[in-house]
Amino acid sequence: KAGVTQTPRYLIKTRGQQVTLSCSPISGHRSVSWYQQTPGQGLQFLFEYFSETQRNKGNFPGRFSGRQFSNSRSEMNVSTLELGDSALYLCASSLGPGGNTEAFFGQGTRLTVV
Amino acid sequence: GENVEQHPSTLSVQEGDSAVIKCTYSDSASNYFPWYKQELGKGPQLIIDIRSNVGEKKDQRIAVTLNKTAKHFSLHITETQPEDSAVYFCAASLMDSSYKLIFGSGTRLLVRP
């Protein structure tokens, strides 16, 4: 059974640009959540989607957005990139809909903003 | 607000010894507590989890205990091996309809051969 797939693995962008990251969940999983991991702030929740609906959003500015498609694949977008957006972005998938089932993470996308 | 505190931040043990990592959560509504292991360059890997209706769970050398009254939960690794060296994260999930994990700050475990 394939795991969670995130693409691309690495990205280098310039300040002010925008970026789109992709996540393909485990087959049959309908919940996809996104996390930002930095050395200073640790793992922080960005948002969660289930059946194409955003059900929860973390404390991040509106520059961070996402969506989920009918096949459960998800994308997140960051506009007007800032140096502080450099981080490992992780996607996790779970069966859903409740918040007490196992979540499995992908390898992440390492974003560097220069 | 929602918060999970994790201690210690680093832990060094001799191979074969036990390691214990402790976490405290703030939201009494939390009902699901997973533990993740993260190796360099990889995403977090789920190693064990526990639900609020269970006090203890064991899987080979790994065990987790939960004290709902004190809002504490702990990870116990026995007979540690060098391959256990990694960063370990505890997390708590809020009891609502969406999936949101609140993570601890992580514990870097080093197992010395």
- Residue B99 pLDDT: 77
- Residue B74 pLDDT: 98
- Residue B100 pLDDT: 87
In order along its 113 residues, chain B shows pLDDT tens digits of 689 999 999 999 999 999 999 999 998 888 899 999 999 989 999 999 998 888 999 999 999 999 999 999 999 999 999 999 999 999 998 766 677 899 999 999 999 99
Q: CB of B66 within 8 Å of any CB in chain A?
A: no
Q: CB of B87 within 8 Å of any CB in chain A?
A: no
The minimal CB distance from B46 to the residues A35, A44, A104 is found for A104
Q: CB of B60 within 8 Å of any CB in chain A?
A: no
- Residue A92 pLDDT: 95
- Residue B95 pLDDT: 61
- Residue B54 pLDDT: 83
For chain A, give the mean pLDDT.
94
For every residue of B34-89, DSSP letters joined together read EEEEE-TTS--EEEEEEETT-SEEEETTEEEEEETTTTEEEEEE-S--GGG-EEEE
Does A99 score more than 80 pLDDT?
no
Burial pattern B57-81, b for ≥16 Cβ within 10 A else e, equals eeeeebbbbbebeebebbbbbeebe
Q: Which of A39-53, A83-97, A99-113, B74-88 has the highest mean pLDDT?
A: B74-88
Classify B17 as helix, strand or coil: coil
Please state the rounded mean pLDDT for residues A60-78. 97
- Residue B26 pLDDT: 94
- Residue A97 pLDDT: 73
Q: Is A8:A107 a contact under the CB 8 Å cutoff?
A: no
The minimal CB distance from B94 to the residues A99, A101, A106 is found for A99
Q: CB of A89 within 8 Å of any CB in chain B?
A: no
Contact pairs from chain A to chain B, CB under 8 Å: 80
